[in-house]
Amino acid sequence: MCQNDLQFINILNKFQITSHTFKDISFINQICLKTPLIDNILPHLFYTNAKIIEHNKMILKNTLGQTFTFHAKDIH
């Protein structure tokens, strides 16, 4: 999902061009690292939709049992 928090967006952009600081890493860890809800899965951050799709396909490939596809639409 696209982000709308300017501070978070700016920090993600700094990671993309490898200009992040220790303070940026601490901020990300503070807001993102929480006790995982399901099977020790931690949040993943990606810069492109292609990387998200690649990651999701890998997760689905390793999922046991029947899979289902749901189409979602963001509305504001």
**pLDDT at residue 57 in the model:** 83
Q: What is the pTM of this model?
A: 0.42
Query: Residue 16, SS3?
Result: helix
In one-letter notation, the amino acid at residue 76 is H
pLDDT greater than 80 at residue 11 = yes
Residue recorded with tokens 């690649």: 54
Rounded to an integer, what distance in angstroms lies between the CA atom of residue 16 and that of residue 35? Answer: 26
Task: Write the DSSP symbol of residue 37.
Answer: S
The per-type count for the chain, helices as H runs and strands as E runs, is 3, 0
pLDDT greater than 60 at residue 36 = no
Rounded to an integer, what distance in angstroms lies between the CA atom of residue 46 and that of residue 54? Answer: 10
Going by pLDDT thresholds of 50, 70 and 90, the confidence category of residue 2 is low
Higher pLDDT, 31 or 2: 31
